[in-house]
Amino acid sequence: MGTTLVLPIREFLLAGLTSAVITFLLVGPVRALALRLGAVAWPRNRDVHVTPTPRWGGLAMLGGVLAGVGMAYQLPALRLAFDYYPTEVFGIVGAAVLLSAVGALDDRYELDALTKLAGQVTAAGILVLCGVVWLVFWVPWGGGGTGVSWSLIILGQEQGVLLTVLITVAMVNAMNFVDGLDGLAAGIGMIAAMATGLFAIGLVLRPDVGNDPSVYSPALIAAVLAGACLGFLPHNFNPARIFMGDSGSMLIGLLLAAITTSESAKIVNTGADGTDALALLAPLIVLAAVLFVPLLDLLMAVVRRTRKGMSPFAPDKMHLHHRLLEIGHSQRRAVLLIYLWAGVLAFGAVALALIDDPIVVLWTVGIGLVVAVLATAVPRAARTR
């Protein structure tokens, strides 16, 4: 049994490594193609970069994701995810290809917001048609038992579709909003994919699951997404030689939404009941933690712009990463600080779901948050002195 449990993890790592290597190798040709066809980010008032930089890095990341999935198809254990549950993996890949294509067109021709929204909703619709949909979740009331009582809410088909589309569109746009500094979106995407992948691996290793192939797909997608982000980072970290563009940020957001949505369904298949509260709520907890930094930035931008009578989609230079620069952080330091915040929250949420002693986890997360706050405040304190 021990060998059986270890083997899929090695295959997940091999699929992720394939994705990283192929992404890294594809960036050069994609960069040359972007320069030739005019997919270039010219500096604007709200931008941090000062030199024209090619986009379309997301196409290289998509190539890495496809290569990683192709490698998984050749591996004996991960092949089971395709043999028994083909629509889920292929549906996620199909939605990713569609949305990356929409993003690539936007990187070159600057599509209007409504067209991009239509592409995002269509991609979410593909997920739904292929069975990647939120249909159930637990709430801490109404169970009818003594003490802490939990109940299961079963969503109707229309409600499940609506929730899936809303979560997908929110995550796609949150990742798009946060993509403002060199290496920021790629790093957050890698951290989020690793955290959600770790939780998915925890599902695979649950004793009551017995290594059921039905739980392989979210871990596989998380592995290849983390690999794609890792392979792209050497080209994108400050000073960036290429940007991922909307083709990359929307790809990351879509795949993260697909992973967490798929995990919510896998929880049901593991046989967890209302007494396993943290496990049942884990997909929502992880989703909230992963989304915290980019979604906070998105909400603040919407409130800030609407209060000024502007469109919520109107650009400005008041995002979280801009504010970190204003208080004295360098670009690299600002990016690393946001990595720290995202890592503490995302991995803390996963640890809370997987580790039996929540007190130790909460203390560790608390210490991490204190370190993050102090590190964030250092330039302001130094300037005050």
What would the mean pLDDT of 21-41 be, rounded to a whole number? Answer: 93
- The answer to whether residue 304 sits within a structural domain is no
Q: What is the pLDDT of residue 207?
A: 61
* E strand or H helix at 153: strand 151-154
- The answer to whether residue 356 sits within a structural domain is no
Q: How far is it, in rounded angstroms, from Cα 225 to Cα 100?
A: 13
Short-list 184, 178, 239, CA closest to 52:
239
Pick the range with the lowest mean pLDDT from 167-171, 326-330, 373-377.
Answer: 326-330
Pick the range with the lowest mean pLDDT from 95-104, 289-298, 310-319, 352-361.
Answer: 310-319
Arithmetic mean of pLDDT over the chain: 79
What would the mean pLDDT of 321-329 be, rounded to a whole number? Answer: 61
Angle of the 277-307 helix axis to the 184-204 helix axis, nearest 10 = 160
- The answer to whether residue 345 sits within a structural domain is no
Residue 340 has pLDDT above 80, yes or no: yes
Give me the number of domains the chain comprises: 1
Instruction: State the DSSP string of 8-75.
Output: HHHHHHHHHHHHHHHHHHHHHHHHHHHHHHT-EE---TT-S--S-EE--HHHHHHHHHHHHHHHHHTS
Q: What is the pLDDT of residue 296?
A: 64
Q: What is the pLDDT of residue 24?
A: 97
Residue 18 has pLDDT above 80, yes or no: yes
Considering only residues 364 and 354, tell me which one the structure prediction assigns the higher pLDDT: 364
Pick the range with the lowest mean pLDDT from 87-101, 132-146, 170-184, 193-207.
Answer: 132-146
- The answer to whether residue 302 sits within a structural domain is no
Give the domain range for residue 142: 2-289
Q: What is the pLDDT of residue 234?
A: 93
Q: How far is it, in rounded angstroms, from Cα 60 to Cα 230?
A: 12
pLDDT band at 104 (very low <50, low <70, confident <90, very high): very high
Residue 32 has pLDDT above 60, yes or no: yes
pLDDT band at 122 (very low <50, low <70, confident <90, very high): very high
* Burial label, 103 (beta-carbon count in 10 A; 0-12, 13-18, 19+): buried
What is the percent of the chain where pLDDT is above 90? 31
- The answer to whether residue 124 sits within a structural domain is yes
Residue 63 has pLDDT above 90, yes or no: yes
**CA-based torsion, 359, 362, 366, 367: positive or negative:** positive
pLDDT, tens digit, 9 for 90 and up, residues 163-175: 899 989 988 988 8
Residue 91 has pLDDT above 90, yes or no: yes
- The answer to whether residue 324 sits within a structural domain is no
The three-class DSSP label of residue 136 is strand
Q: Are 43 and 49 in contact (CB under 8 A)?
A: yes
Pick the range with the lowest mean pLDDT from 38-52, 160-174, 179-193, 363-377.
Answer: 38-52
pLDDT band at 370 (very low <50, low <70, confident <90, very high): confident
The three-class DSSP label of residue 152 is strand
- The answer to whether residue 40 sits within a structural domain is yes
Residue 247 has pLDDT above 60, yes or no: yes
- The answer to whether residue 203 sits within a structural domain is yes
Considering only residues 330 and 250, tell me which one the structure prediction assigns the higher pLDDT: 250
